[in-house]
Chains A and B, each alone.
Chain A
């Protein structure tokens, strides 16, 4: 097998994996702090993808530009969702949280079906079919741009949590709920803020993902599952872990398709998940409980 083929496929998997990582980052942030498993994660990303499609159709807004208003809108949406709907369920049994979020996901999918119909849509930007040639490597232009944007957003988020007062407060709430309350932090407010930030990540990821795949209303559940795999592999609550998990899944899928069978891509993602659960259940970069 030519080495250029392996290199091209690996690189494509890596670039896609970075966008996967951004998608999963939102889930990791939400779970890491609020301890709510967002089973509507993929569906939220699908809504973001449709938002990008609508903005392009109406205003010819490039998804890299639409990313900002969509992320802002998702921040507000996530904040309101957490404060208004999810907050009362924080202290309730986990299965009720699960049912609540699942119900929200089903409403989202059917709402999208009613609004947009079942047909696949995409964004035909001018550079959609371009590619960079670097020696023997052929790099898909949109994939490169999307991956760079994903890294930039993840980097910005990391800096926010590390160096800003709000970010430190959110980390405090995640590390010690009671302690945070004792020192006077408004934990409910920070939970809602965190959900908003996680949702903004999902919104941004959706704007990038729509450049890579065509969107249909039924896309959500598959990406929810993928996000969970990535977050569990990388480590629940670990931001670098989410990116690493995304890259691992992206590359493993690509190489599995190359060396074994394209139909077996998902099999290798799940195999990786099982290995991690067996030998490092906290995830590759997660902390032991």
Chain B
């Protein structure tokens, strides 16, 4: 008898269904295991890694400071997860070589290689070049440190700055100079103003020229202004000119290498003014200044944005910094590291809210940033219509016992201000 097709029984159907269901459930379980197998639970939108291009002068005349900033950039990925930014972030480093043209070409290269946002560049000239590139390409650019006012005055939609402008630096710096004189009951009548002749130095000089005459509470006049090439190898002529003015103190807008050269030259030429005061510039609080000059670095004063040693973010960064660089101390790199980590944090925060790596979406998200947790002294990180964060304060930092020490405002002072400096002698 030929076997005919037997109808599939209900049981068989059920068996088949069960096998299918089991397979389905097993597959579902496997998928869930795969999805959750990473160290982070990635939301569906965040599959893409945020590529952050970091442009810094790690060679050239600003190499020391650029490398100091890079220390901050390199620890940022380890700090961010603890702050709630457990997002995939990849840093893409590029060296601007302290050269504006190189900065421009490196920015273009990073964008071509897939950078979704750029961070940098310490130098105002380089930052201006990068801002142009980012505006053309529609890629957000978050400035970590650069003070030239025009960076956020040109109407760029993709440039954002979490650092004071030169005007703010000068205003805060000059106010602190007045505080220095009041705190020490001194009345210097004259100052000689030396400044580096690059984009930043010129912006600061312009700001001082505009603001100083309006500040009646400051008792001194600038009797001579001496500018110099930031790449100069010998500043003996400039120091001779400054010494010949017989000014009471030196107001000094400098970088790092030139600060070291000038200080050495002052000793050689036996020029001991009441003090050296930087009204809002880098150089005299950097690690290399202490290393190169030793005791000669003492008493130099810098009125600059500074970090809040009590902030939770400072503690988090300090832990990561100490672990990554056991031979370094955060206090010698705090300004550079702080602003650089904050810039990358802004990028991560924007990515978290934008849920996209598209330039316009990121830029819009950055514009809506409102972060109260920060390392640097000042208000929340919140951009105005021009892409500028306002309210970043300065502190008076004096080199005491070979470390940068807050001496003003009094409420935050770690030690007593010394002015005039020991050995002060009119030229």
Contacts and interface: CB of A to CB of B under 8 A. Distances in A.
Interface of A: 1-2, 5, 8-9, 12-13, 16, 113, 118-120, 122, 128-131, 138, 140, 212-214, 218-219, 254, 257-258, 261-263, 265
Contacts of B60: 118, 218
A131 B268 CA distance: 6
B238 A257 contact: yes
Contact of B237 (A218, A219, A258): A258
Nearest to A122: B292
A262 B226 contact: yes
A208 to B, nearest CB: 14
B257 A120 contact: yes
15 contacts: A16-B234, A113-B59, A119-B288, A120-B257, A129-B264, A131-B269, A138-B270, A212-B233, A212-B234, A214-B260, A257-B241, A258-B241, A262-B232, A262-B238, A263-B228
Contacts of A128: 264
Contacts of B64: 119
Contacts of A129: 264, 267-268, 296
A263 B229 contact: yes
Contact of B241 (A5, A213, A214): A5
B244 A254 contact: no
Judged by DSSP, the binding face of B is helix
Interface in B197-229: 197, 226-229
Nearest to A209: B233
Given A129-B264, A262-B238, 7 more contacts: A122-B292, A218-B60, A258-B241, A262-B232, A262-B235, A263-B228, A265-B237
Contact of B244 (A5, A118, A119, A213): A5
Q: B interface, how many residues as a size bin?
A: 20 to 34
B197 A213 contact: no
A68 B292 CA distance: 27
Contacts, number: 75
A213 B233 contact: yes
Interface of B: 58-60, 63-64, 197, 226-229, 232-238, 240-241, 244, 257, 260-261, 264, 267-270, 288, 292, 296
Contacts of B233: 212-214, 219
Nearest to A120: B257
A134 to B, nearest CB: 13
Contact of B234 (A5, A131, A213, A258): A213
A5 B264 CA distance: 18
Nearest to A140: B268
A257 B238 CA distance: 7
A2 B96 CA distance: 43
Contact of A262 (B58, B229, B270): B229
The 4 closest A-B pairs by CB, nearest first: A118-B59, A257-B237, A213-B233, A262-B228
B366 to A, nearest CB: 32
A263 B195 CA distance: 11
A258 B240 contact: yes
Nearest to B58: A118
Nearest to B196: A263
Contacts of A119: 63-64, 288
A204 to B, nearest CB: 19
Contacts of B292: 122
A8 B268 contact: no
B228 to A, nearest CB: 4
Nearest to B227: A263
Contact of A118 (B63, B240, B270): B63
Contact of A8 (B63, B240, B261, B267): B240
Contacts of A138: 268-270
Nearest to A128: B264
A9 B237 contact: yes
Contacts of B228: 262-263
Nearest to A219: B233
Given A5-B240, A218-B60, A254-B237, A261 B227 contact: yes
B240 A9 contact: yes
| Residue of A12, A138, A213, A263 most packed against chain B (CB within 10 A) | A263
B427 to A, nearest CB: 10
A262 B267 CA distance: 20
Contacts of B59: 113, 118, 218
A277 B234 CA distance: 27
Contacts of B260: 214
B165 to A, nearest CB: 24
Contacts of B63: 118-120
A122 to B, nearest CB: 8
B160 to A, nearest CB: 29
Given A118-B60, A261-B227, A263-B227, A140 B236 contact: yes
B244 A2 contact: yes
A58 B227 CA distance: 38
A259 to B, nearest CB: 10
B212 to A, nearest CB: 21
A131 B243 CA distance: 15
